[in-house]
Amino acid sequence: MKVVSFFSGLGGLDKGFADTGYDIIWANDFDKYAVQTYKANFGEHIVLGDINEIPLNEIPDCDVLIGGFPCQPFSMMGEQKGFEDTRGTLFFRIAEIVDDKIKRGKKPRAIILENVRSLKTHNNGRTYKEIHRILQDVLGYKVFCKILNTADYGVPQTRNRTYIVCFDNQTAEYEFPAEQKLDKTLQDLLEHDVDNKYFLSDRILPTILSNGTGGYKAKSEIDLKIARPLCATMAKMHRACQDNYVTQKGRVRRLTPRECARLQGFEDSFVIPVSDCQAYKQFGNAVTVNVSRAIAQSVKDTLKELGEWTD
């Protein structure tokens, strides 16, 4: 099955589908450093650029369309402007691309989209209602939606994300992948002999471990068994109520980029060709591979049941 991927980042969503037998023929992202990481691991089929500026006729036809469209407009950590934010309109670009495929008789058989947990509740549910309406009533897909947590798919990170799975076939009966037992902790994923630069200085340690100041209070904890959600701004080193910190050799340190990769389901063979700052950003934005792989397999099973899967 040929797959086109939008907002690919370093390729977490893509890897899950590739691992399950899909053929990723084209991908896109506007971040040159994310594209650098993607190319180092998956090949040259990713195109650098703003999807709004790529002509429709240059986007290949596909069987399956996937994308983790930008989450900032809907995130609990952002201003939650939704479609009032120009980045929120990128969903409409996806709809425009699919509509063009439909008009040319090349409608994708399935669409898989990923976003933050708060997508379903943003603006009292009106944002998701509009997304659902476009996918179902305008584009003609049967739509399924559920919030999945990375920790329920074998990786010790609390990371709740909204997954939208759509089928062109209205007879489709789809079930999201069953949860898996978590048999690892964050400590199982830690590196040894870590560079001294990742350890906190005595000067910054009290700030990192504090519970906040002024009107903002939140409990700071370290050495968690299940990691907090990785975020794109990890390089800034937030307090321990937001970022993950661990104790090693009697000292407190931040996570390394490789540990962040492991917390997103990437094997150690995954190449990290960029700076730590860019790596933190990319892994903080990534789709967890384990969840992507489980989604990909469940979609594959449904397409097989419908008689629409092709190798």
Cα separation, 239 vs 73, in Å, equals: 23
Helix 12-19 crosses helix 289-305 at what angle (to 10 degrees)? 50
| Cβ-contact 279, 3 below 8 angstroms | no
292: which DSSP letter?
A: H
Closest-CA residue to 134 (of 117, 106, 114, 111): 111
Tokens of 144: 């399924």
Helix 32-42 crosses helix 12-19 at what angle (to 10 degrees)? 20
Closest-CA residue to 94 (of 69, 117, 72, 74): 69
| Cβ-contact 82, 122 below 8 angstroms | yes
Closest-CA residue to 21 (of 282, 307, 301): 301
Q: Catalytic residue among 71, 145, 166, 231, which?
A: 71
Is 71 one of the catalytic residues? yes
Task: Say which amino acid occupies 281.
Answer: K
Residues noted as catalytic: 71
